[in-house]
Amino acid sequence: MSTQTISHSSAKDVVIAKLTILSDPCLYDTAINMVSHIANSLGVSSDDSHKLEKVLNEILETVVNDCYEGCNDQNINVIAARRFNSLVIAVEDKGIPFQFDSIEEGNDKRFQTYMALGYADRVYYKNLGPDGNRIEIRKFLPASDIRNSSEISDENKSPESEVIDTNERLDVRLLEFDDIKELVKVVYRSYGHSYPSEFMYYPERIEARIKSGLLISCVTSTTNGEIIGHLGLTFETQQSRVCESGIAIVDTRYRGQGVFKKMREFLQNYARENKIIGIYGEAVTIHPFTQKGVAKFGAKEVGFLFGYTPGEITVKDIEVKADSRRQSIALMYTTVLYNKKKSVFLPLIYHEVASRIYEQLEFKRDIETSNLPISESENNLGKSEIVMRKDYGQVFVIIEEYGRDTLVEINFVLRQMCTLRMDCIYVDLPIFDQHASQIISKLRESGFFIGGIIPELRNGDVLRMQYLNNVQIRKNDIKVASEFGKYVLDKVFEDKDDIELNSLKESL
């Protein structure tokens, strides 16, 4: 199982149009009309196109009033592009960065752009540091949902009594575009309507991801060419040397016949041949089978994200206790290539668990503690990206570069997301930077606790921290497949309990 990669890449965007206008309200309509025309030409409905116009108008007003403080002679870039099978509208400015005090007082409306999620499928805010600000709204383009197709019916479901020849020769290979529609049918047969990676029900969206170079897919087929399994590697950027393994699907008739093993071996060889350092993935914890499956290929537990997925995922032929509570996932990491020894910076409280994780992965790391503060006079405000996933009740704050406003920004997002009743807030922190130790310690004071460590995820190792907004987690609900996994789970719970206890003491 896998969710969609949390970050996004603009490197493979196909730019349709780019317009630079002055920050003059008289020019709003010029940009809005351009975007509306492009949206309509790409098949976006009139109703959705009108909603995009309203969102863009709001963004432009905010940029002029809050970024440029009403000044009408500054530049604003409006960009329309295709990313995967979606339309991306980006607005770039070099005005004032986030003014957190003003936002709290209701005078800066930029953060209200996230409310546009009712009108757009994704909204991103990217702090570019000295290069300014970038707000993106993303709208999925019309695509055929296989679940609504006449090709899907009860006849397409695999008969549970059907006998499969276990000696049948199965072929593992890279997916071809002609395979995609058949692959989507396998998703439906195995999961019905409940598969968490929604794009897997849309052939056009799968094809777009593969063409972008950010998804490598392999499939298993029978001697007559029928697709009966899939496994993919997802990359955040074309330059990434660590990828996410997921979208693991096996036709119910072929489970227990080593199909997943064959595909995992195929992709692990692909990773090795293409100089990929590591493969990470998300394994469900409602049962231990997925964890055991990847552990056979050297995957180790590097963390646990509590309450990561909403509701229940239905997997045919795998019995799980029905429960509406949010489910946790295990972060699994497989080392493919060993890289040179490096230093990472963590608070002392995390040294033991980090040392054990690196030992399991056979990564050589000097784990240090640095109290290097970020100066109040620091010119660099920091670089970050905020990704809000309303469908998952999640928010990710991805810190690309530490700066003067890093802590303020994270704590602001935390307060706003709790107000909006988002369930889980995650922060990805680069721990190859000496400022990491102090930032992490301060975030623990705000209620964040350790989630996991992902080596070389983005130009170096990343610590993922997590905050739960009134989400109840029961340790007995989390099934762990190995003794080391139990150790890591205990450490995550210890940190969570320690932080909750400290918070309780402060409130008394």
Residue 176 CA: distances (Å) to CA of 21, 73, 202, 205, 455: 43, 51, 15, 14, 31
Residues 94 and 50 in one domain: yes
Q: What is the mean pLDDT of residues 342-363?
A: 97
Q: Cα separation of 179 and 222, whole Å?
A: 12
Q: Cα separation of 449 and 475, whole Å?
A: 16
- pLDDT given for residue 96 in this prediction: 75
Q: Cα separation of 125 and 400, whole Å?
A: 13
Residues 361 and 482 in one domain: yes
- Cβ atoms of 276 and 241 within 8 Å: the answer is yes
Q: What is the mean pLDDT of residues 136-152?
A: 70
pLDDT over 60 (residue 331): yes
pLDDT over 70 (residue 236): yes
Report the CATH number at residue 109: 3.30.565.10
CA-wise closest residue to 276 among 231, 239, 242, 237? 242
- pLDDT given for residue 460 in this prediction: 93
Buried b or exposed e, range 418-452, using 16+ CB within 10 angstroms: beeebbbbbbbbbbbbebbbbbbbbbbebbbbbbb
Domain boundary among 335, 363, 379: 335
- pLDDT given for residue 487 in this prediction: 97
Residues 373 and 418 in one domain: yes
Residues 353 and 315 in one domain: no
For residue 40 the two structure tokens come to 């309509």
- pLDDT given for residue 324 in this prediction: 65
Q: What is the mean pLDDT of residues 428-444?
A: 95
Residues 280 and 369 in one domain: no
Residues 80 and 176 in one domain: no
For residue 173 the two structure tokens come to 């290979």
Taking each continuous run of H as one helix and of E as one strand, the counts in the chain are: 11, 19
Block residue for tokens 């493969």:
279
pLDDT in tens, 161-211: 455 656 778 999 999 988 888 888 888 888 777 777 778 888 888 888 888
For residue 380 the two structure tokens come to 């660099």
Q: What is the mean pLDDT of residues 110-120?
A: 55
pLDDT in tens, 377-412: 567 778 888 887 777 888 899 999 998 889 988 988
Which three-class secondary structure state does DSSP give residue 199? Answer: helix
Q: List, in order, residues 6 or more apart from 402 with CB less than 8 Å away.
A: 374, 380, 382, 430, 433, 435, 436, 439
Terminal Cα distance for the chain, rounded: 42
Total count of domains within the chain: 3
Residues 210 and 250 in one domain: yes
CA-wise closest residue to 145 among 189, 181, 179, 186? 181
- pLDDT given for residue 171 in this prediction: 93
Domain boundary among 142, 167, 202: 142
* Residue-averaged pLDDT of the chain: 84
State how beta strands 14-22 and 342-345 pair: unpaired
CA-wise closest residue to 384 among 376, 395, 393? 395
Report the CATH number at residue 205: 3.40.630.30
- Cβ atoms of 167 and 140 within 8 Å: the answer is no
Residue 28 vs residue 162, higher pLDDT: 28
CA-wise closest residue to 32 among 17, 42, 45, 14? 17
Q: In the structure, what pLDDT confidence band is assigned to residue 300 with cuts at 50, 70 and 90?
A: very high
**Which helix H or strand E contains 53, and what residues bound it?**
helix 46-62
pLDDT in tens, 40-87: 998 888 888 888 888 888 889 888 887 888 899 999 999 999 887 789
Residues 104 and 59 in one domain: yes
Q: Which residues pair with 308 in a beta bridge?
A: none
Q: What is the CA radius of gyration of the chain?
A: 23
- pLDDT given for residue 4 in this prediction: 40
pLDDT over 80 (residue 1): no
- pLDDT given for residue 106 in this prediction: 47
- pLDDT given for residue 173 in this prediction: 94
Q: What is the mean pLDDT of residues 119-135?
A: 78
- pLDDT given for residue 346 in this prediction: 97
Residues 301 and 344 in one domain: no
Residue 89 CA: distances (Å) to CA of 35, 57, 92, 142: 8, 12, 10, 16
CA-wise closest residue to 355 among 302, 295, 399, 280? 302
What percentage of the chain carries pLDDT values higher than 90? 44
State how beta strands 365-368 and 86-93 pair: unpaired
Residues 326 and 413 in one domain: no
Domain boundary among 312, 335, 358: 335
Q: Say what the pTM is.
A: 0.79
Residue range of the domain that includes 221: 150-335
Residues 375 and 506 in one domain: yes
Q: Cα separation of 247 and 215, whole Å?
A: 11
Which three-class secondary structure state does DSSP give residue 498? Answer: helix
- pLDDT given for residue 6 in this prediction: 41
Q: What is the mean pLDDT of residues 238-246?
A: 89
Residues 138 and 155 in one domain: no
pLDDT in tens, 257-292: 889 899 999 999 999 999 999 999 999 898 898 899
- pLDDT given for residue 293 in this prediction: 86
pLDDT over 80 (residue 130): no
- pLDDT given for residue 117 in this prediction: 52
Q: Cα separation of 396 and 465, whole Å?
A: 10
**Which helix H or strand E contains 428, and what residues bound it?**
strand 424-430
Q: Cα separation of 184 and 495, whole Å?
A: 41
- pLDDT given for residue 162 in this prediction: 58
- pLDDT given for residue 15 in this prediction: 92
pLDDT over 60 (residue 100): no
Q: What is the mean pLDDT of residues 85-108?
A: 69
- Cβ atoms of 218 and 263 within 8 Å: the answer is yes
Q: What is the mean pLDDT of residues 298-310?
A: 93
Residue 307 CA: distances (Å) to CA of 9, 108, 378: 26, 32, 36
- pLDDT given for residue 104 in this prediction: 45
- Cβ atoms of 303 and 331 within 8 Å: the answer is yes
